[in-house]
């Protein structure tokens, strides 16, 4: 297996969506549904004024997140994914879908929730550093970062553990761990800005 060394680009993700509107079975898999349930349970108990979802794909998690956020900015590197997300979630108050190649491109605003679900392992070392830098200034005091990543073998630039631990090494001085859970085939981490 060849492992990519730099971040996967828009062409990679456009290719993924080219022949399949649901390439990871996000809308149909019982495993994905349970994982999304755990994701929502981890952030339950409060409403978020402004949230950022990085890598919204076709909007399956977006559809759930929008119910707990006053404003939700959902971004993806793939125009095709955003088109599918718009079909799924429609035009909802407080929801913005934007094409953005995070972390090279990042919002100017600050957020009280940032969701990195199945994205950090697609980034090379330079982009993990960029993401850490942005998270330090882009997450408001008391805000949270939720990370959910598949832990199986991939050909991505990093494994889930490598990507999450790299981010944590950069962020542990200004965030605290609220959760670090291992589940069947994925890990879920929740960090709060101090």
Distance, CA of 13 to CA of 82 (rounded, Å): 11
Average pLDDT over residues 129-134: 98
How much is the pLDDT for 2? 40
Q: Is the pLDDT of residue 182 over 80?
A: yes
* % residues pLDDT > 90 (the chain): 86
Q: What are phi and psi of 178, to 5 degrees?
A: -90, -35
Q: Would the pLDDT of 35 be above 50?
A: yes
- For residues 118 and 25, the model is more confident at 118
Domain span including residue 35? 10-193
- Whether residue 2 lies inside any domain: the answer is no
Q: Is the pLDDT of residue 176 over 90?
A: yes
For residue 3, tell me if it sits in a domain: no
Q: What's the pLDDT at 21?
A: 82
Cβ-in-10-Å burial (0-12, 13-18, 19+) of 157 comes to buried
Q: Which residues contact 105 (CB under 8 A, 6 or more apart)?
A: none
The total number of structural domains that make up the chain? 1
Distance in angstroms between the alpha carbons of the first and the last residue of the chain: 40
Selected residue with higher pLDDT from 9 and 102: 102
- Whether 5 is covered by a domain: the verdict is no
Burial class (CB in 10 A: 0-12, 13-18, 19+), 55: buried
Structural domain contains residue 54: yes
In a domain, 4, yes or no: no
CA of 95: how far to CAs of 48, 92, 106, in Å?
Answer: 13, 6, 17
CATH code for the domain of 74: 3.40.50.150
Nearest to 158 by CA among 132, 186, 120, 187: 120
3 pLDDT band (50/70/90 cuts)? low
Predicted pLDDT at 5: 66
- Report whether 156 contacts 128 (CB < 8 A): no
Mean residue pLDDT across the chain: 94
Output the DSSP codes for 8-39: --HHHHHHHHHS-SSTT-TTT-HHHHHHHHHH
Neighbouring residues of 11: CB distance < 8 A, sequence distance ≥ 6: none
């Amino acid at each position: 297996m060849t492992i990519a060394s730099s971040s996967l680009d828009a062409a990679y993700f456009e290719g993924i969506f080219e022949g399949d509107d649901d390439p990871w079975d996000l809308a149909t898999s019982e495993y994905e549904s349970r994982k999304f349930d755990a994701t929502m349970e981890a952030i339950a108990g409060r409403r978020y004024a402004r949230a950022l979802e990085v890598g919204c794909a076709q909007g399956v998690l977006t559809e759930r997140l929008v119910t707990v956020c006053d404003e939700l900015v959902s971004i993806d590197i793939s125009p095709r994914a955003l088109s599918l997300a718009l079909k799924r979630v429609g035009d909802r108050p407080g929801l913005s879908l934007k094409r953005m190649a995070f972390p090279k491109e990042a919002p100017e605003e600050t957020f009280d929730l940032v969701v990195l679900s199945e994205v950090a392992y697609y980034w090379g070392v330079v982009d993990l550093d960029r993401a850490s830098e942005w998270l330090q200034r882009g997450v408001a005091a008391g805000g949270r970062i939720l990370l959910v990543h598949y832990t199986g073998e991939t050909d991505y630039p990093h494994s889930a553990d490598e990507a999450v631990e790299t981010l944590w090494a950069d962020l542990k001085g200004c965030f605290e761990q609220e959760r670090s859970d291992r589940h069947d085939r994925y890990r879920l981490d929740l960090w709060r800005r101090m």
